[in-house]
Structure 1
């Protein structure tokens, strides 16, 4: 997977030290009660479409860009679903990273899903009632995107 140029430039200065990044996640839904998933090339597991914001990029526009780059699908970003700091982790090369993830509900507009870059092995629609194994954060993101409550989930705020 291609690491964004701005991250490579930062890594030249900070080495493997912890880098705080803004991640974006899309829960893309269609009119058939299906969610768009990608099978990641790095882990082989099915996942929501995710990416990293470029410096100065607006979150909704960055997510629409990432979804199109990875799946060839065009979306309308409907609403913010959650804002969460993810736990820090290390990549196999030793780079440490922590993401502030902004998750959005998106609606399919046009395009047939396909592998559109080197980040995915497969791209497919899955019925909400028959999802492949996903991690707990992704399942929570889907549940929150389906909620009629328009307020985003803000862990650590409120009761």
Structure 2
């Protein structure tokens, strides 16, 4: 998916300077104890479904949109899992970015996973006991989504 217009408009004003954005991450869990993952086109790694919140968009609505856009799966948001400020990063073109990420536990309601945009090379359900190489952060998101408590995880220091 191309860079959202609102980001391009901001970049026209601030150049490559650090841009603070609202990120969204989905832990989509089905009834077969599997999690929905995408294999990213930019680095070839398997990953949780993630995206950027559009201006004025509600987080749960934006995440449902991202899941459908990337995987063709329609899902519902069950609960907020975590709120986390991610470390600053940069893109190959020099753009600096930092995300405040909202991670949600979601459940699929219809649709079979498939590559549905140019951001992914593959999309599929993975058994929770046989996951591919994921980042520590993604594994923590999955662990927190599986916890029985409804309270989201967040840093206090």
Normalising by structure 2, report the TM-score. 0.99
Q: Does 1:6 align with 2:6?
A: yes
Q: In structure 2, the residue corresponding to 1:57 is in which secondary structure?
A: coil
- Once the two structures are TM-superposed, the CA of residue 155 in structure 1 deviates from its matched residue by 1.4
Q: Does 1:108 align with 2:105?
A: no
Distance 1:137 1:121 in 2: 21
The alignment's C-alpha RMSD in Å is 0.7
Q: Please identify, of 85-94 and 148-157, the stretch whose mean Cα deviation from structure 2 is larger.
A: 148-157
In the other structure, the counterpart of 2:44 is 44
Per-residue CA deviation, residues 89-115 of structure 1 (Å, 9 max, x unaligned), is 111110000000000000011100000
Q: In structure 2, the residue corresponding to 1:109 is in which secondary structure?
A: strand
Which structure 2 segments of 5+ residues have no match? none
Distance 1:37 1:81 in 2: 17
Distance 2:86 2:134 in 1: 16
- Once the two structures are TM-superposed, the CA of residue 156 in structure 1 deviates from its matched residue by 2.2
In the other structure, the counterpart of 1:147 is 147
Tell me how many residue pairs correspond in the alignment: 157
Per-residue CA deviation, residues 104-143 of structure 1 (Å, 9 max, x unaligned), is 0000111000000000000000000000000000000000
Distance 1:16 1:147 in 2: 39
Q: Does 1:91 align with 2:63?
A: no
Which structure 1 segments of 5+ residues have no match? none
Runs of 4+ that moved beyond 2 A: none
Distance 1:156 1:116 in 2: 38
Normalising by structure 1, report the TM-score. 0.97
In the other structure, the counterpart of 1:58 is 58
